[in-house]
Amino acid sequence: MARIAVKDCATKVGETVELAGWVDIRRDHGKLIFIDLRDESGIVQMVITPKNEALHKEADRVRPEWVISINGEVKARPEGMKNDKIATGSVEIGVTQLIVLNPAETPPFDITSSGLEIGEEVRLEYRYIDLRRARLQKNLRLRAKLGKKLREYLNAKNFVEIETPYLTKSTPEGSRDFLVPSRHQPGKFYALPQSPQQYKQLLMASGFERYYQFARAMRDEDLRADRGFEHTQLDIEMSFVSRENILNLVEEMVTRVVENLGFTIQTKPFPRFTYAEAIKKFGADKFDMRTPEEKEKNIQAFAWVTEFPFFEKNTEGKWTFTHNPFSNPIPGHEEKLLSGEIEHIIADQYDLVLNGFEAGGGSIRAHKSEILKKVLEVMGHSNEHIEKEFGHMLRAFTYGTPPHGGIALGFERILMSLTGEEYLRELQAFPMTSGGRTAVMDAPSEVSKAQLDELGLEIKKKK
Q: Quick one: DSSP state of residue 318?
A: -
**pLDDT attached to residue 398:** 97
Cα(389)–Cα(97) distance, integer angstroms: 68
Say whether both 43 and 156 belong to one domain.
no
Say whether both 68 and 178 belong to one domain.
no
Cα(457)–Cα(306) distance, integer angstroms: 46
Domain limit, last residue, from 81, 102, 123 = 102
Say whether both 97 and 153 belong to one domain.
no
**pLDDT attached to residue 79:** 87
Say whether both 334 and 387 belong to one domain.
yes
Cα(310)–Cα(424) distance, integer angstroms: 29
Per-residue DSSP letters for 21-55? EEEEEEEEETTEEEEEEEETTEEEEEEE-TTSHHH
Say whether both 98 and 144 belong to one domain.
no
- Which CATH number characterizes residue 222's domain? 3.30.930.10
Helix (H) or strand (E) holding 71: strand 67-76
Chain centroid to Cα 304, Å, comes to 21
Say whether both 387 and 287 belong to one domain.
yes
116 domain-assigned: no
354 domain-assigned: yes
459 domain-assigned: no
Please confirm whether the linkage preceding 444 is cis (ω < 30° from 0).
yes
119 domain-assigned: no
Bridge-based pairing of strands 346-354 and 302-309 is antiparallel
Residue from 376, 351, 407, 348 nearest 200 by CA:
407
457 domain-assigned: no
Say whether both 62 and 179 belong to one domain.
no
**pLDDT attached to residue 313:** 82
Cβ neighbour number for residue 167 with a 10 Å cutoff:
11
**pLDDT attached to residue 314:** 84
Q: Which residues of the chain have pLDDT under 50?
A: none
The residues facing 91 across adjacent strands are 76
**pLDDT attached to residue 154:** 98
Condensed to tens digits (0 to 9), the pLDDT of residues 294-346 reads 999 999 999 999 999 998 888 888 888 888 889 999 999 999 999 888 888 99
Domain limit, last residue, from 87, 102, 117 = 102
Domain count, the chain: 2
**pLDDT attached to residue 163:** 98
Condensed to tens digits (0 to 9), the pLDDT of residues 2-44 reads 899 999 999 999 999 999 999 999 999 888 999 999 999 999 9
**pLDDT attached to residue 427:** 96
Please confirm whether the linkage preceding 269 is cis (ω < 30° from 0).
yes
Say whether both 96 and 180 belong to one domain.
no
- Which CATH number characterizes residue 31's domain? 2.40.50.140
405 domain-assigned: yes
Say whether both 290 and 175 belong to one domain.
yes
Domain limit, last residue, from 102, 117, 146 = 102
Domain span holding position 391 = 132-427
Check: CB of residue 141 under 8 Å from CB of residue 261. no
Say whether both 189 and 277 belong to one domain.
yes
Residue from 195, 196, 239 nearest 365 by CA:
239
Say whether both 249 and 393 belong to one domain.
yes
113 domain-assigned: no
212 domain-assigned: yes
Say whether both 69 and 190 belong to one domain.
no
